[in-house]
Amino acid sequence: MNDIILLKLGELVLKGLNRHNFEDKLMSNARRRLHTYGQFKVTTKQSITYVEPQSDDCDMDGAFEAMKKVFGAVGVCRCRACEKDKDAMLCAVKEFLAPQLAAARTFKVECKRSDKTFPLNSIQLAQYLGGELDEAYPHLTAEMHHPDLTVYVEVRDDAAFVHGNTEPGAGGLPVGMGGRAVSLLSGGIDSPVASWMMAKRGLCLEMVHFFSYPYTSEEAKQKVLDLAKLLTPWTGRLVVHVVPFTAIQEELRRSCPEEYFTILMRRFMMRISAEVARRTGSGALITGESLGQVASQTMEAMLCTGAVVDIPVFRPVIGMDKEEIVRISRKIGTFETSILPYEDCCTVFTPKHPKLKPTLKECEAAEAKLDVEGLVKAAADGIERVQIGVEQG
């Protein structure tokens, strides 16, 4: 018989209809993430999702790693299936949990019997297994409150399952549960982290990248596509909308005061992203802005950039220090790619003295001569859609 994987669902406060949406989304996301690892059956019962391989050639290690990146599960563990016989269970515990039993000093056994025809009830079974383990491992002491190791045994209709402590899951809400949003992805450290944080809150992402060829290189674009790829174990498949941005930047350089260049460029990024949101049925924008990190990330600048769109702008790293953002970026695996030294479209045209506290009136005056709508439409119509499949572990 095969091992199976259990996912413990998070956000237990969710009730009623929401609970169903949560479970259904989590199961469909898990199924989609699993099919490169073999055939699995995915079901949910009482806040636990069961991932069961349907053949012997399933890649259980790969599936387990993939399940640790599915948002919505707070804990993930592997269990061993065995016969519904108390000695077979004891044997499975000793074999399957050997390293944990050797490392622990204190333990307890918790049993659950969903097959009510099994002759021992949960308490009797736990007492039997606990007593046997206590005897077999002299270094172990039973401890009911905070044991190093909890041995779980569940007697179900088709088999019994044994597992130890769970590993942390990705937490958050299943991707897609909160709708769709457009994330502005540069090649930096912050925007991949911001994207990951909002996917964690249940958003399905559309990525937008502004590309200023030939001022920025093909390598710089490839770096952004690589970053998107690194996010896919969490987000699922992605589309990166690569926006040709050079014409707008050249137009701004030609017709607008230099000190407003950065803020005006950002206003165009927001407008075009909002257009992508409209075309993809997305309800919000996401950026990696952090208050005060650079001149363009002040309250005043955010007022000016937010003013050109009529959907919410989420900035999940707004209150975070660089070190905190870096810590997440290392954890999710984007850091090493983010620090590769390719230029970003913003750095190419950086003014010598950017306006620190631009006002909305000044921005509007500086843009007065531009055909804003025409520029936005031309850029949006020139978008190249790049499909990114899920990265295999």
H, E, C per residue of 171-191: CCECCCCCCEEEEECCCCCHH
Site residues (CB under 6 A) for ligand ATP, limited to 194-233: 208-210
Which position among 93, 101, 184, 366 is part of the footprint of ligand ATP (CB under 6 A)? Answer: 184
Report how far apart the first and last C-alpha atoms of the chain are (Å, whole number).
25
Distance CA(100)–CA(206), nearest Å, equals 42
344 binds ligand ATP (CB under 6 A): yes
Site map for ligand ATP, 251-290, x if CB under 6 A?
Answer: ------------------------------------xxx-
Q: What's the full length of the chain, in residues?
A: 393
Nearest distance in Å: CB 170, ligand ATP = 21
185 binds ligand ATP (CB under 6 A): yes
Distance CA(194)–CA(140), nearest Å, equals 45
Q: Look at residue 210 and give the partner it binds from Mg ion, ligand ATP, none, a contact being a CB closer than 5 to 8 Å depending on partner kind.
A: ligand ATP
Nearest distance in Å: CB 255, ligand ATP = 21
Nearest Cα neighbor of 240 from 229, 249, 248 is 229
| C-alpha separations of 336 from 188, 230, 267 in Å | 10, 11, 29
Distance CA(68)–CA(37), nearest Å, equals 14
362 binds ligand ATP (CB under 6 A): no
Nearest distance in Å: CB 246, Mg ion = 17
293 binds ligand ATP (CB under 6 A): yes
Which position among 169, 188, 202, 316 is part of the footprint of Mg ion (CB under 5 A)? Answer: 188
Structure-block tokens of residue 243: 């926006």
Rg (CA), the chain: 26
Q: Which is nearer to ligand ATP, 147 or 316 (CB)?
A: 316
Nearest Cα neighbor of 160 from 119, 198, 195, 190 is 119
Site map for ligand ATP, 296-335, x if CB under 6 A?
Answer: x---------------------------------------
190 binds ligand ATP (CB under 6 A): yes
Handedness of CA 278, 283, 286, 290 (dihedral sign): positive
Contact indicator for 304, 270 with CB cutoff of 8 Å? no
Nearest distance in Å: CB 224, ligand ATP = 7
Site residues for Mg ion per CB under 5 A:
186, 188, 344
Site residues for ligand ATP per CB under 6 A:
184-186, 188-191, 208-210, 287-289, 293-294, 296, 344-346
